[in-house]
């Protein structure tokens, strides 16, 4: 996702990003920093998701983003901080690292939905013979069955035409989150076979075939939108 974004940065945005990193540091290698610090900064936990109820009419910021502690408000906050030249170098660097991570998180549909199951973490799944849960499946499980990373990157980049860059760069952070929530309805929960709560859901080839293009497009959208945010900030 980060490598997709980097390929779309303007020279000015690229220079700003480089200036915020230490020599030899790569942005892609820092994408999990926000997860690494969760234990020592527990207040950042709710910043990784927004709980839009699965069966609702959609986002209600008052209900779903209390006190601005959700991924939508934090992307907006860190975008503004990254943009602000009067913020310290350290503060801007931290804003960049949060942005990179949260734009990715927001495009994982289970980070934008609440079905009283901790974003799918409490839904046991058996996928192609191995035990996992619905959240982990959408985090990594489906990716693992896809192509090797470099091959996948090339394939995803080919799908990103100037036309989709324009289309996906439009809209607000709230609209992007709503889109991810709709994807959770139509592609994550909707196609789940009927199951009893105490039995793991059996998912096989059919679910994987449906879900993989969705995962790919979410990664592409995240890359395009991270680039859109960083490019707009560099103007």
Binding site for Zn ion (CB under 5 A): 48, 105
Residue placing its CB nearer to Zn ion in the complex, 27 or 201: 27
How far apart are alpha carbons 16 and 232 in whole angstroms? 12
Q: Considering the complex, what minimum distance in angstroms separates the CB of residue 11 from Zn ion? A: 29
Kind and range of the H or E run holding 157:
helix 149-159
Q: Considering the complex, what minimum distance in angstroms separates the CB of residue 74 from Zn ion? A: 11
Q: Beta 130-133 vs 201-203: how paired, if at all?
A: unpaired
Q: Considering the complex, what minimum distance in angstroms separates the CB of residue 47 from Zn ion? A: 8
Question: Could you identify the residue written with the tokens 């549909």?
Answer: 109
Residue placing its CB nearer to Zn ion in the complex, 48 or 225: 48
Start-to-end Cα distance in the chain: 22
Residue 203: φ, ψ to 5°: -120, 140
Which residue has the CB atom at the shortest distance from Zn ion?
Answer: 48
Q: Do the beta carbons of residue 226 and residue 28 sit within 8 Å?
A: no
Return all residues near 225 (Cβ < 8 A) that are at least 6 apart: 103, 107, 168, 169, 176
Q: Considering the complex, what minimum distance in angstroms separates the CB of residue 50 from Zn ion? A: 12
Q: Considering the complex, what minimum distance in angstroms separates the CB of residue 102 from Zn ion? A: 7
Residue placing its CB nearer to Zn ion in the complex, 48 or 92: 48
Q: Which of 97, 230, 226 is nearest to 160 (CA)?
A: 226
Q: Considering the complex, what minimum distance in angstroms separates the CB of residue 32 from Zn ion? A: 8
How far apart are alpha carbons 96 and 194 in whole angstroms? 42
Residue placing its CB nearer to Zn ion in the complex, 72 or 203: 72
Residue placing its CB nearer to Zn ion in the complex, 59 or 97: 97
Q: What is the CA radius of gyration of the chain?
A: 18
Residue placing its CB nearer to Zn ion in the complex, 118 or 128: 118
């Amino acid at each position: 996702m980060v490598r997709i974004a980097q390929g779309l940065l303007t020279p000015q945005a690229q220079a700003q990003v480089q200036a915020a990193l230490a020599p030899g540091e790569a942005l892609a290698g820092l994408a999990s920093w926000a997860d690494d610090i969760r234990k020592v900064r527990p207040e950042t936990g709710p910043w990784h998701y927004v709980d839009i109820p699965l069966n609702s009419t959609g986002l209600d910021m008052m209900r779903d983003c209390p006190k601005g502690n959700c991924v939508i408000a934090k992307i907006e906050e860190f975008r503004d901080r990254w943009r602000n030249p009067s913020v310290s170098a350290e503060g801007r660097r931290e804003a960049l690292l949060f942005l990179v991570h949260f734009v990715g998180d927001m495009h994982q549909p289970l980070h934008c939905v609440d079905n009283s199951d901790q974003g799918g973490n409490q839904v046991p799944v058996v996928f192609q013979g191995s035990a996992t849960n619905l959240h982990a499946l959408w985090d990594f499980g489906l990716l693992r069955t896809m192509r090797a990373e470099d091959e996948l990157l090339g394939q995803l980049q080919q799908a990103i035409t100037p036309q989709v860059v324009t289309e996906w760069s439009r809209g607000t952070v709230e609209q992007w989150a709503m889109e991810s929530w709709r994807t959770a309805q139509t592609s994550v929960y909707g196609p789940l076979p009927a199951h009893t709560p105490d039995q793991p859901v059996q998912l096989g080839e059919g679910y994987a075939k449906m879900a993989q293009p969705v995962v790919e497009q979410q990664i592409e959208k995240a890359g395009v939108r991270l680039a859109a945010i960083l490019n707009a900030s560099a103007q």
